[in-house]
Amino acid sequence: MLKLGFIGGGNMASCIINAISSLKREHTISVSGPHLEKLEKFKSMGHNIGTDNVLCAKESDIIFLGVKPQILGSVLRDLKDKGIDFSQKLVISMAVGFSCSSIEDITKSNKTVRIMPNTPSSLGLGVTAIYFDSGVGTEQKDLTYELLAGLGLNVTVDNEEQITLLGALTGSGPAFLYRFLESLCTIATEHGLDAVQSRNLMQMLIKGTAAMIEHNAQSSLAQLREAVTSKGGTTFEGLKVMQTRNFDAMMHEVIDACIRRSHELEETLKDK
């Protein structure tokens, strides 16, 4: 039987646990965290809960690390100091800015996977970036894919810098889309539409546009944009403003800011 342990029971851990619930192979799930009352939802799903990270890790074949990056180092050191042999475990970390080498410095094992899911993963419509450290074998990689399949699209990257990039693009991306839609909603209400109607419009706008991308896979995004744009028309004039205001340059700054912050976090977490 496959034994899965989650140290930390936050939103991303919940997404993964929900996805794993449809796993066909026999398995058990244990979740540990400092506040037992916050883990009751997992107990109601038939999973084991507790406040003892060491016990959770000891009884697991695969350990998912779902704690905040700022305390991950101390959590791992506590596990190591209390006898957890990480060489016999596969460790899957969700922590932003905490590199495989930083984890390996503590665990003395290179059987580490870094993943970066996004919030739509809770609906099975997410993007999860995956990076495998050098000690992860083929069988363990296949098992990782199997465990994460229910989240949506899995993208394996060649290095951790690409994890950082996808964290900015697809991890933070939903927030940027929400912010864009917020602006359109504000404009709609300023022109007399009510808030509910405005939200419904934005919901269908994003859903329909995503469907157009999916159903026109042979067309580039530029071609899809051009299909909406008549020279001299209203859309054309709007796009001219975006070009004048250097929309592409702004988006580069947005993504660069995310990447820079991730690197800053990595530096501050090295000695945590």
Q: For residue 227, what are its two tokens?
A: 């299909």
Confidence band of 97 (pLDDT split at 50, 70, 90): confident
Q: Is residue 232 part of a domain?
A: yes
Predicted confidence at residue 250, as pLDDT, reads 97
- Rounded to two decimals, the pTM is 0.91
Q: 121, 11 in Cβ contact below 8 A?
A: no
Q: For residue 182, what are its two tokens?
A: 């917020």
Q: Are residues 93 and 217 in the same domain?
A: no
Q: Are residues 248 and 119 in the same domain?
A: no
Q: Are residues 177 and 228 in the same domain?
A: yes
53 marked as part of a ligand binding site: yes
Predicted confidence at residue 153, as pLDDT, reads 96
Q: Are residues 56 and 145 in the same domain?
A: yes
CATH of the domain at 252: 1.10.3730.10
Mean pLDDT value across residues 43-71: 94
Q: Is residue 144 part of a domain?
A: yes
Q: Are residues 232 and 198 in the same domain?
A: yes
Q: Are residues 40 and 125 in the same domain?
A: yes
Q: Are residues 144 and 44 in the same domain?
A: yes
Q: Is residue 84 part of a domain?
A: yes
Last residue of a domain, one of 88, 123, 156: 156
Q: Which residue range(s) make up the domain with 108?
A: 2-156
9 marked as part of a ligand binding site: yes
Looking at the structure of the chain, the number of domains it has is 2
Predicted confidence at residue 174, as pLDDT, reads 97
Q: Is residue 269 part of a domain?
A: no
pLDDT of 150 strictly over 70: yes
pLDDT, the chain, mean: 94
CATH of the domain at 124: 3.40.50.720
8 marked as part of a ligand binding site: yes
Mean pLDDT value across residues 219-244: 96
Q: Are residues 32 and 62 in the same domain?
A: yes
Q: Is residue 271 part of a domain?
A: no
Q: Are residues 68 and 43 in the same domain?
A: yes
Q: 59, 5 in Cβ contact below 8 A?
A: yes
Q: Is residue 162 part of a domain?
A: no
Q: Which amino acid is at 99?
A: S
